Structure 1
Amino acid sequence: MQHLFDHSIESIMVTDEEGIIQQVNAAFTQITGYEAEEAIGQTPRLVQSVRHEPEFYRLMWQQLQQSGSWSGQVWNRRKTGEVYLQWLNINSLTDEGGRVTHRVAIGHDLTGLKSVHDERRLFTFKDPLTQLGNRQLLTSRLDQALAEAERNKIRVGLMVLDIGRLRPVNEQLGLAWGDDVLRQQARTLQAAVDEADTLVRLQGDQFAVLRHSRAGDAAMAQLADKLLGLLGQPIVLADQNIVKLQSSIGIAIYPRDATDNAGLLQAAEHAHAMAKRAGRNRFQFVDQRQHDLHHRELQIEHSLHHVLNTAAGEGLSLHYQPQVCSSSGEILAMEALLRWQHPTLGPVFPDEFIAVAEQSGQSVRLDRWVLEQVCAQVANWLQDYPQLPMVSVNLSAQQFSQPDFADWLQACVDNAGIAPTRLKLEVTETTMMEHTDTCVAMLERLRQMGFRISLDDFGTGYSALACLHQYPLDELKIDRSFMVEASVNERAFMLLKTIVSLAQQLSLSLVVEGVEQQEQLDLLADFGPLMVQGYYFYRPLPVADIMALLDERQPGI
């Protein structure tokens, strides 16, 4: 086996389950220019080019997680910066418990082919495993089909389907048997569809059927039902193992669900994902409202990735909402709140783009962008306002899985030339309850470094009331919804009163959010001086308006 690894003409890269390169062969070095010592310890991003959108890699990773394998063409980058085309096969290796331990990527450099014609003939349109067409062929045929459909005012139907749960087959019987299942199901599909249809293998165990005619809902549903029945038949392998799979099918129709090539494929893939979530062995047409929401999320995800890779953070800005003394109105602190003016979507609300950032793994970078901006802004303000109120910043749950966060934050305030005591770090009650051990350890360290710690959204969910004494806190922030309820419900008001008393006994500062009316402020009068935050006093304000406030009233801390 080692001899094959060392002498293979194909580049081989072995990573661990986290994607860290453990081993490469001589062909990898010859093709990429990176010596083993340069590659080991890095991630595959070392050879990643900029030819593919983030969605390409997201789908690749999704397919790897679902089926344990991926194959297709990839534009990669040599050490010299040259971009080259590679045919890549990635397979997951698992232990006896089914846990992924390693991934092996085997690549063939396509630039060595004799001619562009040979490259197109051998690789561009054909899937080597099933001998069907591939995604590139589908794209080409979609262009033709949609152009014809527009001229003749007819419908085009597109199905995206998977053959079922292939990953257990790969893990229990081996990749060779998994490939055999793919070939058998490909032949089943080929026999079932019309000659005029285009059948391709997209990636892994995913296929697509492009129907140029008879693409009404009834005809597409009839075909989908037929395919589900055929693909669900038991498969007998050469070693007499019997495999029974359950397919899922998503259907999109032109021009109802999309009007272009990429949009129709995306719509069918979304419908396919919905069918899988609904329980498999079923087909699903596009839910247009859900599809539009999904498309918007993808647009936000891609735009956010772009914004965070530009130094200026195009469109992102910070507003600051003062927190004031309930009795005097004096500004005691300010909360930094992120805003985004999207170039095509317009203003995107934080609840929406922060949720997308969390789902797409970008919340850590977003947090750190905000912290860098806040530190720079505080340093700038301190030149004119030495008695500047403390500024609070929200932290996402994902930040607590980053072991370097405390050191990074210390470096951030040091680079800005400000003291940690200038910042208040807000963590939500839900995050604290779901990640108690990691949160407590990291917050304890941050608090020892001088940062103040605030428990945000208190009273919204898990109710950490009984655990408050265990947490390294300086402050409680009572959520706006809690304040609204206390305004109309006597029992909620009594609970609010109990929380205020408990916070005082634990020497915790208290901020009440959502104070928007005089009646709400009056409810708090008997509790003594509190910090309140809400539209009654101030909305979130841009930097220029905050500076005007600081010029008018320079409060003590």
Structure 2
Amino acid sequence: MGHAMEWLGLHFITSLPDSGQIILNCVHDPFLVLLAYLVACVGCFATLDMAERVAHAENHTSQIRWRWVGTGCLAGGIWAMHFVGMLAFQAPVEVHYQLPVTVFSLVIALLASWLAMRTLSLPDLSVRQCFKSSIGIGLGIATMHYVGMAAMRTNAVAYYQPDLFVLSIAIAIGAALIALLLSRHLRNGMGMFHQLFKYGASLLLGGGIIGMHFTAMAAFNLVLPSGQALQPSNASSHLQLALTVAVMTLLIIGSSISAALADKKLQHKDHDLQRVNSLLSQLDQARMSLQQVAHYDALTNLINRRGFNQIFAEKLMEKTNEGGMLAVLFLDIDHFKRINDSLGHDAGDELLKVIAGHIKSSIRSHDDVVARFGGDEFCLLIDLHDREEARQMAQRIMLKMKEPIELAGRRMVMTTSIGISLFPEDGKTCEELLKNADLALYQSKGSGRNGLNFFSANLKTRATLELQLEEELRHALREDTGLMLYYQPIYDLKTGQVSKLEALIRWQHPVHGFLVPDRFIAIAEANGLIAELDNWVLRKACEDLGELSRQGCEELKIAVNCSPLNLAREELADEIERALRSAGVAPHRLELEVTENALMGNIANTLVLLRQIRALGVSLSIDDFGTGYSSLAYLKRLPLNTLKIDRSFIQDIPKATQDMEIVQAIIVMAHTLHLQVVTEGVETFEQYQFLENHGCDFVQGYLLSRPVPLAELLPVLNEINQRKHTYTPITSLSLAHGTTALM
């Protein structure tokens, strides 16, 4: 017999015996070998799947659970493969297995599998860790196999060939290393290709494990001492047992894989649910943001018109059902446009924030609603028991507004106009109450601003009348009916002749009769008709100049009033040029009268426009001088020809010495600036004489003539022009005739 040695209860031989013993011819059942391979592959697939579940588990408990399931699947797969492989082994001797040793081999398989799953659970699995762990796992699998072989009891003696023994261990370590590396690669994959790769990897690993098993079996030899009888093995009982073990193992592993798959789907559903919840949360936040944008003013953080209307409707419903009063306060900041024009929109925005703070600090409780409707318009909605509460609230706001505001290095005080309407007496709907509060606000503005007004029925009547007048004025302009020009002579004190006429618009209304400008100019300005109206006056005045030339008055000039709103339009110079060219009138015969406040509104733009008008050859006159806030520094820069003193300075002369001194000073100042002076509103001879004595250039007023239509103008002009030639009767003419024909 060749050299033999023993290690850990296993017999190793370098060469088989020559005589005295029978080397048994052992074979394997092909069906059970395939069954063993199938069990090995399924066990490997389950292990790779469980490793993936551990990697994607969302909590520590879940990781531990899937690690132990993976350990069971791997251990069960390897051990069942070994057990079925051993049952596939057919020897011509009686073979049986010791149960305790067989169970011990299963424990070793569990330990090796636990080490494998623990390694696969590491968050960052390096190649070095794979090498280290694969040695332990491979040795564990090999140990399980050889302990399982040691459980075999038979009359023959088992011997192992050392080289194949070592090779089987190396294959076990190699299979473990490949399993770890593949699992590391498969951690984060998904989709069809990933699944196919996992199947392929399972077949490869199953081949590795069963390769190790049959390499170990190739190292195994049974030697029967001579004289022992050969006995056939019970193949049918082995087949039955192998099938039972394989099926049970496959069922357990299959159940584990199914559980893992179900958990994966549940986790995906959970993720989808979380994503849906997250999206719903984001949508909710977006809706809230949109609602904030839709219902709140971004600048002042007050609610806007839409938000106000929503609350207003709810409050109205509540008060309608339960009874009680509400007040709507409409606020408008006086002369706010000047701040924007002079200091810029950024300063205007800062001012609005401060004003919004003032209004909010004036309200009584959270029940009072403050809104910004846009621009410098604010609106309040308050609960109240009597109308006096609304007045007190408005006065409190007006008082708060008087606190000085530091803005752009300036200290300023703003004022506000307030209009108030009450529920239920002034209206039952949101629209009606807001409209009536707006009418009351309009009344406050018309009364000189910085005041408050409650809505009253006559305001509605006036508003209705104004609306009707607006529609009829549009019609009059469109159809060119009802509007006419009247002319008031302007007398030249140096030549004793009428040298100019002031064109004054009148409206022969079909219902209300003869209307003066005070009745409809403000309506035209408020409704965007003023440019059209001024243009009509301009064209008509130029046409009448042409007519006067044909009647022999070639030197007469006509002065036309220009609205402050129209002075802000760049097209004005072109419109004047077109009107002059169309009528064939020389530009020097037209004079444009602009008010003092209109000139000072936007001085830079106004200056450009006035220079364009002067370049045409048209004269310029500053009207109502002394009633505005013009600066002499600006006045000398403006390309003016004439200055007109307002009638308010003349009416009390000669009784009011202060007025006489003011008029004298204005005349001297105007002449210093090389301006001619016209004084309007002259009604008495004493006023006429005072102005003549102090160097006034022109006079205009009822002393000379009331405004008359073009058809009646020539007789009036002839009468006035003849007075100076008969100097003595001028007094008697003025006194006696002035009260009849001229008044």
TM-score normalized with structure 1 length: 0.54
CA deviations over 1:496-525 (Å, ceiling 9, x no partner): 222222222332211111110011112123
SS of 2:650's partner is helix
Q: Distance in 2 between matches of 1:191 and 1:480?
A: 56
1:169–1:177 contact (8 Å) kept in structure 2: yes
When residues 284 and 553 of structure 1 are mapped into structure 2, their CA distance, relative to the original with a 3 A threshold, is closer
Which string of whole-angstrom CA distances, capped at 9 and with x for unpartnered residues, describes residues 37-87 of structure 1? Answer: xxxxxxxxxxxxxxxxxxxxxxxxxxxxxxxxxxxxxxxxxxxxxxxxxxx
Match of 1:504 among 668, 671, 686: 671
Instruction: Specify the SS of the correspondent of 1:224.
Output: strand
CA 1:253–1:460: 2 relative to 1, 3 Å: same
The structure carrying a bigger strand percent of its residues is 1
Determine the structure 2 residue equivalent to 1:366.
533
1:169 aligns with 2:336: no
Taking a change above 3 Å as real, the CA distance of residues 233 and 493 of structure 1, as seen in their structure-2 partners, is: closer
Alignment RMSD (CA, Å) = 4.4
Instruction: Name the % identity.
Output: 31
Q: Partner of 1:494 in structure 2?
A: 661
Question: Aligned equivalents of 1:223 and 1:529: distance in 2?
Answer: 61
> Judging changes above 3 Å, is the alpha-carbon distance between structure 1 residues 554 and 189 closer, same or farther for their aligned structure 2 residues?
closer
Per-residue deviation, 1:471: 1.1
Change over 3 Å in CA distance of 1:294–1:389 after alignment to 2: same
Cα 1:298–1:231 change in 2 (3 A) is farther
How far apart in 2 are the matches of 1:325 and 1:473? Answer: 18
Q: Give 5+ residue unaligned stretches, structure 2.
A: 1-291, 329-362, 371-378, 383-419, 445-451, 723-743
| CA shift in 2, pair 1:316/1:277, >3 Å | closer
Partner of 1:317, secondary structure, is strand
User: What is the rounded CA distance, in whole Å, between the counterparts of 2:588 and 2:714 in structure 1?
Assistant: 21
1:297 and 1:182, CA in 2 relative to 1: closer, same or farther beyond 3 A? closer
Report 1:247-266 matches (<5 A).
247=381, 250-251=421-422
CA change 1:230–1:309 in 2 (3 A) is farther
Equivalent position of 2:440 in the other structure: 274
Query: Residue deviations 1:131-172, cap 9 Å, x none?
Result: xxxxxxxxxxxxxxxxxxxxxxxxxxxxxxxxxx99761647
Query: Which residue of structure 2 lines up, in the alignment, with residue 417 of structure 1?
Result: 584
Q: Which residue of 2 aligns with 1:232?
A: 367
Residue-by-residue CA offset, 1:356-393 (whole Å, 9 max, x unaligned): 22222221111101001111111122122252410000
| One-letter code aligned to 2:701 | G
Tell me what 1:123 maps to: none
Q: TM-score, normalised by structure 2?
A: 0.41
Cross-structure match for 2:460? 291
Match of 1:120 in 2: none
Q: Which residue of 1 aligns with 2:474?
A: 305
Contact 2:705-2:716 within 8 A present in 1 as well = no
Aligned residues, how many?
Answer: 348
- What is the DSSP-based 3-state SS (H/G/I as helix, E as strand, rest coil) of the residue aligned with 1:453? strand
Higher helix share: 2
Deviation string 1:389-411 (CA, Å, 9 cap, x unpaired) is 10000001111221111112111
**Could you say if the C-alpha distance between residues 426 and 166 of structure 1 is closer, same or farther in structure 2, counting changes exceeding 3 Å?**
farther
Distance 1:179 1:394, change over 3 A: closer
- 1:177 and 1:533 map into 2 onto residues whose CA distance is 52
Match of 1:394 among 561, 574, 578: 561
Q: Which residue of 1 aligns with 2:703?
A: 536
Distance in 2 (CA, whole Å) between partners of 1:180 and 1:493 is 58
**Structure 2: distance between partners of 1:431 and 1:384:** 35
Establish whether residue 378 from structure 1 lines up as the match of residue 480 from structure 2: no
Match of 1:353 in 2: 520
Give, in whole Å, the separation in 2 of the partners of 1:173 and 1:484.
Answer: 49
Aligned to 1:447: 614
Question: 1:224 is matched by which residue type in structure 2?
Answer: L
Q: What is the DSSP-based 3-state SS (H/G/I as helix, E as strand, rest coil) of the residue aligned with 2:544? A: helix
Match of 1:336, SS? strand
Structure 1 residues 520 and 370: CA distance shift in structure 2, 3 A = same
Would the aligned equivalents of 2:294 and 2:306 in 1 still touch at CA under 8 Å?
A: no
2:514 is paired with a residue whose SS is strand
Deviation at 1:472, TM superposition (A): 0.4
**Contact (CA 8 Å) 1:267, 1:286: kept in 2 or not?**
no
How far does residue 533 in structure 1 lie from its aligned partner after superposition?
A: 0.2
SS in 2 for 1:524: helix
Equivalent pair of 2:295/2:306 in contact (CA under 8 Å): no
For the residues of structure 1 that align with 2:309 and 2:716, how far apart are their CA atoms?
67
CA displacement, residues 509-551 of structure 1 (integer Å, 9 cap, x when unaligned): 1111111001111212322462100000111111111133456
Residue matched to 1:144: none
Question: Is residue 250–residue 275 contact of structure 1 (8 Å, CA) maintained in 2?
Answer: no
For residues 422 and 194 of structure 1, do their structure 2 counterparts lie closer, same or farther at Cα, with a shift above 3 Å needed?
same
Q: 1:354 to 1:376 in 2, by over 3 A?
A: same
Conserved? CA contact 1:375–1:413, under 8 Å? yes
1:364/1:275 CA distance change after superposition, 3 Å: closer
Are residues 173 and 427 of structure 1, via their aligned partners in 2, closer, same or farther at CA, if it must alter by over 3 Å? closer
